[in-house]
Structure 1
């Protein structure tokens, strides 16, 4: 009788161990890489032209009201801002080669 109880206890533990193995969490998949080239391409082809068109409409609207000096000031500020953005983009793309050129 005692041998039967020991066998039942062992079988119950084995069944619980199999359940634990079957219900164990699976490893998470590797994180996906972000397509930064696609994001930059999207901004360059879709967002920037819309912003430039909006600036153009604002400038034309102001100029038609006779605020030419404000339009010239705003245009100069916009051009300087675009120059800063272009400089940042060029450093983003060519920064590694500039560092190699200066420090090697």
Structure 2
């Protein structure tokens, strides 16, 4: 009976400690110390993977999106959604390919 209580206590304590580490969030701040602007610090392997794999694919997606936009332009003009088509086919992949920092997961460029 004592072994069961000890095992239950150890299990409860371990689960509690594991849950605390899952709730912890590390937020780095920029030089101004303003918590509104967070800085993403990617690892070296993320930068290399981004440079070798993701950027060429995103540049290709931008070129293919531009070609698809030109082909679909008569239809989108008739439908009245030229801006939305340009945004989703050309601007978004281009922003991720050219504006996003190397290895970052978000572009950091927010236009209001």
* TM-score bracket, shorter-length normalisation: 0.3 to 0.5
**Larger RCO, structure (CA 8 Å, separation 6 or more):** 2
Pair member with larger Rg: 1
Q: Please give the TM-score of this superposition, normalised by the length of structure 2.
A: 0.32
Q: Answer 1 or 2: which has greater helix percent.
A: 1
